[in-house]
Amino acid sequence: MSGTIHTHIDHYIATVTFSHPKSNSFPTELLQKLIDTFNRLSSDESVKIIVLQSEGDKAFCAGASFDELLQIDDAESGQLFFSGFARLINAMRKCSKLIVGRIHGKSVGGGVGIAAACDYCFSTEASDIKLSELSIGLGPFVIAPVLERKMGIAGLSELSLEAQSWKTAYWAQKKGLFNKVFENTRDMDEGIDILTHQLSQYNPEALFEMKKIFWEGTEHWDNLLQERAEISGKLVLSDFTKDALSKFKK
């Protein structure tokens, strides 16, 4: 029930696949495994490009583990819980390899943050997104910086304030989150194969220098995202959020 992370390397392309029986959500243990994977691949000279995907044909990622969220009973454990995605986003931005996202289905909360932390994103028409945090008394504080970087403050505002509304993959493409949207996974995978093969032929030093340019101005995120995790860790203990979580669980 803790989920799995699998990595396959072929012709300089590392395909990282995460899986969890509950809509590919992330308990803390699985998040740490993915963080460790990115850190390891960052220094692996046999890898030039990373493709990030999840298993199955339904949800891409349901975000953080709801079961763990319900168990938080103090501010310290709250901050620890929300810092999981903070550390993952920072691992992705600091990884020396370009990360290509394969988004095959719906994403919620932290799952949307993962897509935004990729350097290039492919998706299918089934890849709707939603940030539901405000509806339970929280907010997408940890992932907000990476979403604003891709979508701008207007896109972030619309997505976060309309907390009970799904946005289509084409909406996400228009806002800059997804680079290409395909009708089905077969066509999407063909597109991924073409781009990653091309990228794998390029100078790895040039690819690394481009990635550094993509992420300029984010050097302070180690501290910023932890500060945001602290905000969420306190809010999850509020009466409003406890009541909302109780109703949601029922």
Q: For residue 249, tell me if it sits in a domain.
A: no
Q: Whats the size of the chain, residue-wise?
A: 250
Share of the chain residues as helix, strand and coil, in percent rounded to the nearest 5: 50, 15, 30
Mean pLDDT by 10 residues, the chain (250 residues): 93 97 95 98 97 96 90 90 96 98 98 98 98 95 98 97 97 98 98 98 97 98 97 93 82
Dig out the tokens for 15 from the structure: 């395909």
Question: CATH no. for residue 164?
Answer: 3.90.226.10
- Number of independent structural domains in the chain: 1
Nearest to 51, CA basis, from 149, 106, 3, 120: 120
- Predicted local distance difference test score (pLDDT) of residue 70: 86
Boundaries of domain holding 162 = 4-186
Amino acid 1: pLDDT? 66
Domain-embedded: residue 213: no
Is the residue at 196 inside a domain?
no
Q: Is 80 part of a structural domain of the chain?
A: yes
Give residue 249's pLDDT. Answer: 72
Q: Is residue 69 part of a domain?
A: yes
CA distance 65 to 82: 10
| Residue 177 forms part of a structural domain | yes
Assigned domain for 191 exists = no
Considering only CA atoms, which of 59, 71, 49 is closest in space to residue 18?
59
